[in-house]
Amino acid sequence: MGLTTTPSSSEFYDRWTELFRRGFGPVLQAGIVKTGDPPREDPRRSILALAERAGVREGDRVLDAGCGVAGPAIIIASEYPTVVVDAVTNSAYQFEVAQSEVDRVGLTQRVRPHLADYEHLPFPSGSFDQVLFFESTGYAKDLTVTYGEAHRVLAPGGRLYVKDVFCSSASLSVRAAEQMRAFDELWGCVRSKTLAETVAAISDAGFEVVSSGALPNVGTSRFAGSMFHLDRAGGLRPSELGVEFLKRGLNPPIEFGEVRARKPIG
Amino acid sequence: MEQIPPELIGRAVQDAEFRSRLLADPKGTVTAEGYELDQDQIEALQELDPEAIDKAIEALVGELDASKWA
């Protein structure tokens, strides 16, 4: 039996991003904040709702840490005409697509993709007013380093916002732990973090944690539905995304949550 | 265009009660829930066999806790 290795997140996204784009569109997130009446999972409105929860303001210098193909960065820059977003991905493929999309929508002056690791950010200290992590910290190798870097690149008074799929508990049953490992392996994660360890790491990095908890009104129907085709000819069957990512019986102990924090002044 | 919107498919997969209503009365359910489907999409839903859909979900997904879908 040969040795097997888990692909890095960059390898994972180099391989799968095109499939994800076809299945999910430009916002590569599982949890979509429901907005409107009746409530709907609209990815653009979800990103704007998250930006509002994060506290993004006109004139902000924003870092999107783990930006995918810059879908959220483009949405935020489109809505906030004086915001500049630096968008970081460690996938060369995502970086190329992000560059292309930014060019296509004419936002090259205000959305700047970077091929970089968010644990080693290529920015001077104090460069940003807002750092965003949208479903990206499961790829962090070291939370201390990750949030230490976020703290470094934020200006005093700057805001950190983390929205993620968290492991629901640090002490899992054997069965739940197996499910969690299978989930992480499926999605190329280093390890899904718990909300509690995330809050602790953010605090240890020097942030003042403003709030943390479950993310309200988040739905996964759009994500789930992207795994299937449903039509009269074939009934319900896996989509091309579902062929690769539907795993029967996978039911991991996860929850959507968020953390707001602030870098103290002085 | 017959392809059903992913959010609607996802709800149908995740929520057995919603799926039952949707397949029993597609037009009434999508209207009540505020989805905008064209006639071709409604007709496609009307032609689906609810039992076959339930079996497909069981085969593809298994026991499903909708709150833990990701």
Q: pLDDT for B8-35, tens place per residue?
A: 999 999 999 999 999 999 999 999 998 9
- Find chain B residues with C-beta within 8 A of A236's C-beta: 9, 13, 48, 52-53, 56-57, 60
Q: What is the CATH number of the domain that holds A130?
A: 3.40.50.150
Measured in angstroms, the CA of B28 and the nearest CA of chain A are apart by 15
Q: Is residue B70 part of a domain?
A: no
Dump pLDDT digits (tens) for A167-215.
999 899 999 999 999 999 999 999 999 999 999 999 999 999 999 999 9
B34 inside domain: yes
In a domain, A175, yes or no: yes
Among the listed residues A76, A21, A9, the one whose alpha carbon sits nearest the alpha carbon of residue A49: A76
Identify whether A3 is part of a domain. no
Kindly state whether residue A210 falls inside one of the protein's structural domains: yes
Nearest CA-CA distance, residue A87 and chain B, Å: 24
Q: What are phi and psi of A232, to 5 degrees?
A: -70, -25
Cβ contact, residue pair A235, B48, below 8 Å: yes
- Please indicate, yes or no, if residue B46 is contained in any of the structural domains: yes
ipTM of the complex: 0.89
- A5 confidence band (pLDDT: 50, 70, 90): low
Query: What's at A37, amino acid-wise?
Result: D
pTM of the predicted protein model? 0.94
Percentage of chain A exceeding pLDDT 90:
92
Residue A178 lies in a domain: yes
Total number of domains in chain A = 1
What is the residue range of B11's domain? 6-63
Q: Which domain holds residue A148?
A: 9-262
Mutate to test the interface with A, among B8, B9, B18 (most CBs of A within 10 A): B9
Indicate the number of domains in chain B. 1
pLDDT mean across residues, chain B? 86
